[in-house]
């Protein structure tokens, strides 16, 4: 079986590639390196001892997609491609709408041209309204998104639903990720965002490595027990195994389904810092900043549907994630550079 990873050189894509190759899947990767690096894919080859086809291209380029899909018989697409910083999307909404929506449309059009019927979409908890009670289920309120990034995920889901409805035999799994933590247990690959990280876990790890003078916590006056935002932190290796489960689901089902991928537990920003300090014996200097636009106070999910329909649930803890992301960062203090 051959799997096409759109945006496969990034944090999630590289870990996905390792898992697929270790499970004897054939892999084809395309990425334009807008927020990734060739070194990540070199490490994938080192970890697995396997080679794979790679194309440096923008997924919106239909000519390149046709070349790729003519060269390889693709059985399933996993769609990771797109910009992903919620805060940045508030400042640069058109950048996000133009890029993220057109990538999804481009992939759907290519699927039709090349008779590919299975796609796994990297969606987000950002599709949910902040008016939901916790834990969030797949039937909770969607839309009313807090930022353009969330809207692009919401709209991409709708594009995929509509495409599946008009293309009999298509199977679409929309995986709504909660917050990622951790790295591959080898420490060879991990999260290496450009600039100051927009997400808390890599910001913590980079601060521990001395790349930042202090860790910014955006807001300590939210309506939560300690005043900081609460999130559901899922280990990257649990997440990629969720994609394997979704692929197997798509083998036997048609239509479009959404699934939450999380742990079902909330951890506050301050609690996450303490978990990291405890797991690694490192003190993290903190500076409280103003709230960041587009951040929900609390977000954690129910995983019942994924457990029931995919046969999947997380195995790793937040402490595991803290240890693994520090192993990656301490072995690679400047990331892949």
Catalytic residues: 149
**Residue 67 in contact with residue 41, Cβ under 8 Å?**
no
Burial of 325 (0-12, 13-18, 19+ CB in 10 A): buried
Alpha helices in the chain (DSSP H): 11-22, 38-48, 62-71, 86-91, 93-96, 102-114, 148-166, 200-208, 236-252, 269-280, 304-305, 318-331
| Cis-peptide, bond into residue 135, ω within 30° of zero | yes
| Cβ-Cβ contacts under 8 Å for 201 (sequence gap 6 or more) | 179, 180, 181, 182, 191, 233, 272, 321, 325
Q: Among 176, 130, 179, 180, which Cα is nearest to 157's?
A: 176
Burial of 185 (0-12, 13-18, 19+ CB in 10 A): middle
Ordered DSSP codes for 219-275: -S-SSSTTSS-EE-EEEHHHHHHHHHHHHHHHHH--EEEEEEES-S--EEHHHHHHH
| Cβ-Cβ contacts under 8 Å for 109 (sequence gap 6 or more) | 62
**Residue 326 in contact with residue 205, Cβ under 8 Å?**
yes
Q: Among 160, 186, 30, 29, which Cα is nearest to 105's?
A: 160
Q: What would the two tokens of residue 1 be?
A: 């079986």
């Amino acid at each position: 079986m051959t799997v096409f990873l759109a945006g496969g050189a990034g944090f999630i894509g590289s870990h996905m590639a390792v898992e697929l190759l270790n499970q004897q899947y054939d892999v084809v990767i395309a990425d334009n390196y807008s927020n990734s690096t060739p070194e990540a894919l070199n490490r994938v080859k080192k970890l697995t001892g396997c080679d794979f086809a790679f194309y440096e291209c923008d997924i919106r380029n239909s000519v390149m997609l046709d070349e790729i899909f003519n060269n390889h018989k693709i059985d399933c697409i996993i769609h990771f491609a797109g910009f992903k910083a919620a805060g940045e999307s508030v400042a640069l909404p058109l950048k996000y709408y133009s890029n993220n929506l057109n990538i999804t449309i481009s992939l759907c059009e290519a699927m039709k041209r090349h008779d590919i019927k299975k796609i796994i979409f990297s969606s987000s908890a950002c599709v949910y309204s902040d008016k939901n009670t916790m834990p969030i289920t797949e039937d909770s309120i969607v839309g009313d998104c807090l930022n353009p990034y969330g809207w692009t995920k919401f709209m991409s889901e709708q594009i995929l639903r509509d495409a599946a409805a008009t293309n009999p035999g298509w199977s679409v799994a929309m995986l709504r990720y909660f917050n990622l933590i951790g790295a591959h247990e080898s420490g060879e690959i991990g999260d290496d965002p450009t600039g100051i990280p927009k997400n808390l876990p890599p910001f913590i790890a980079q601060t521990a490595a001395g790349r930042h003078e202090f860790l910014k916590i955006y807001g300590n006056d939210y309506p939560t027990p300690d005043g900081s935002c609460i999130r559901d932190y899922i280990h990257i290796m649990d997440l990629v195994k969720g994609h394997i489960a979704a692929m197997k689901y798509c083998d036997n089902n048609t239509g479009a389904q959404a699934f939450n991928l999380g742990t079902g537990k909330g951890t506050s920003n301050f609690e996450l810092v303490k978990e990291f300090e405890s797991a690694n014996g490192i003190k993290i200097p903190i500076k409280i900043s103003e709230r960041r636009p587009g951040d929900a106070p609390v977000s954690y999910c129910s995983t019942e549907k994924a457990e029931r329909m995919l046969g999947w649930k997380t195995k790793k803890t937040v402490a595991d994630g803290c240890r693994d992301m520090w192993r990656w960062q301490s072995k690679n203090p400047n990331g892949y550079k």
